[in-house]
Chains A and B, each alone.
Chain A
Amino acid sequence: MNLGGSMLGAALVILSAGMLLIFLRPNKKRAPIRLREIPTFNNLRQLLGAAMEQGTRIHLGLGRAAVGNPNYGSTLAGLNTLESITRSTLFADQIPVVTSGDGTTSLLGQDVIKAIYRKESTVDRVPQDGSQLVGVTPFAYAGGSIPVISSPEVSANILIGHFGVESGLLTTASLTDSIHTLGATDSLPAQSVFFNASGDTLLGEETFALPAYLDQKPSMLASLMVQDLLRLILVFGMLVGVVLVIMGVI
């Protein structure tokens, strides 16, 4: 990366971190944040409620990105979602079943479930079988996840993380077993597969909004606000760029 690019990148990171910390500070004068209505999130809440009533489990696929991979951001959003879902289903004592294609993600998933149980549950036994590494290549991951999705104790399928076209096998397994699927990913090919083959799809930045909609934690809401502001800044910058190009300045 050249020096100009580095400086611009560093400035964007510092600006984002500054805005995040500002929005995190409690301010009584600021109007409460109203989240845009997205039907997918309402469907997800209904799915969670139905799973608790029926005593079934939610399958959460965290994809196959490895730690250090540029695509790991969506897996981290998946771990945030896992935290929210585990908290939501805690009273029913039916932990989500998590699958991933990376060893570290698998351990982090187990750690998230255990941390919630240790902190918020009155149950002494911390569940052991919450998170599984099912395969480290794309098709091995898909092949290992299908028996989990098809298991009779699973009533909904949430795929959030980095996937490829192999996600088509996961959505088809859900279709065959009449299980509702919500797909959210940072990968464009997988987004098109989800749009085509899953019940609900989150596109683009909506993937990262999922934990905010489920939990409404101040940190998540602040993060959404910063995302929106940065998007506005980028749109403004692009428009200025277009005008400058048309005028022949650059």
Chain B
Amino acid sequence: MPKRVITLTVNGETHEVAVEPWWTLLYTVREELGLTGSKEGCGTGDCGACSMLLDGRLVTSCIVLAVEADGCQVTTIEGLAQGGQLHPVQQAFVEKGAVQCGYCIPGMVMAAYDLLRRQPDPTLEEVRLALAGNLCRCTGYTKIYEAVLAAAERMRLEGARG
């Protein structure tokens, strides 16, 4: 079967990529585009380490085929910090000690980013619900909850100012 050429716009940059029909979006972004920030933890959509935004929707990219993403806008962890400035979610993860081994963190940050776009003022229970598809084995989640709530507060303050 010949490779198929697809168009992906990743973090604002458009690429034409020749993909095998069985390649996942995660594999394509990591291996063909060299964006290795997104991780594969399970390959079955259960751990969330590969979370990305696909046309604005949070997906586990290990179970999305690259050909399904043809023509789509993709945001990965590499696209979050702007002009060398960490996104408030990233900043809060650093400051609250929410990062240990770090392998789940790109996906976890994307899921938190997605939550705060939809719900800028979440309760603890809303945070726990929104992150339930992202497994972390190191932190016991506590400092991740603190980070997401702190980021929400900072973003609300910055939004109010700006």
Partners in one complex: no
Using a CB–CB distance below 8 Å, which chain B residues touch chain A?
Answer: none
Using a CB–CB distance below 8 Å, which chain A residues touch chain B?
Answer: none
